Amino acid sequence: MSKTERSSAAARGEIKFAADRMLGRLAKWLRVLGFDVIYGQHLTGYGLIRAARAEARLILTRDRSLKQKQPPPFIFVDSDHYGDQLRQVIRECGLKPGEGLFSRCLECNAVLQPRNKETVQKLVPPYVYASQDSFSWCRVCQRVYWPATHHEKMLAALRKIAVL
Ligand SMILES: [Zn+2]
């Protein structure tokens, strides 16, 4: 896949990633930005290749030996630091990092759904219920999300590494 092809796939929301198990922080930050990334301890070597092939995902890896295993398209991630890693993936895929911010579950990668305030009263701490008006949740793991201080911290971190 060429950079132009990746870039137009990203623009259509079709680009999906499979991150190898060494890239947990990168996977999490791509999810913060709203991108579809699978990640887990089984995603290494042929397991990673199989998973990527099954769902036409672009592999993100730090494993230099992967290319000897005839993988589908992949990006070799150069740096050990998540900020550099994130910038590399954004650059090479032509991603627009602001568009899907906080739209995906950080735990299980599902797209979050909006949820009415009244329906989350029993699911969140009372001070959160009292102070927040907008909630979303993950159908898969049932986690409820709301914009609060952790969003601010994540935004600050993304600005610090010059992604936003
Ligand atoms: Zn979830």
145 Cα–ligand 1 center, Å: 10
Closest CA to 35 of 75, 62, 2, 70: 75
pTM of the model: 0.90
How distant is the alpha carbon of residue 120 from its chain centre? 25
Q: At a CB cut-off of 8 Å and minimum separation 6, what does 92 contact? A: 3, 6, 75
Phi-psi region of 45 (alpha: psi -120 to 50; beta: other; left: phi over 0): left
110 Cα–ligand 1 center, Å: 6
Q: 3-state DSSP call for residue 34? A: coil
28 Cα–ligand 1 center, Å: 12
Per-residue confidence in pLDDT tens, the chain, 164 aa? 677 777 777 666 679 999 999 999 999 999 999 999 999 999 999 999 999 999 999 999 999 999 999 999 999 999 999 999 999 999 999 998 888 899 999 999 999 999 999 999 999 999 999 999 999 999 999 999 998 777 889 999 999 998 88
Q: At a CB cut-off of 8 Å and minimum separation 6, what does 96 contact? A: 10, 11
88 Cα–ligand 1 center, Å: 26
2 Cα–ligand 1 center, Å: 32
What residues does the ion ligand 1 have nearby, CB within 5 Å? 105, 107-108, 138, 140-141
64 Cα–ligand 1 center, Å: 31
Q: What sign does the dihedral 91-93-99-103 (CA atoms) show? A: negative
107 Cα–ligand 1 center, Å: 5
Closest CA to 158 of 112, 110, 108, 97: 97
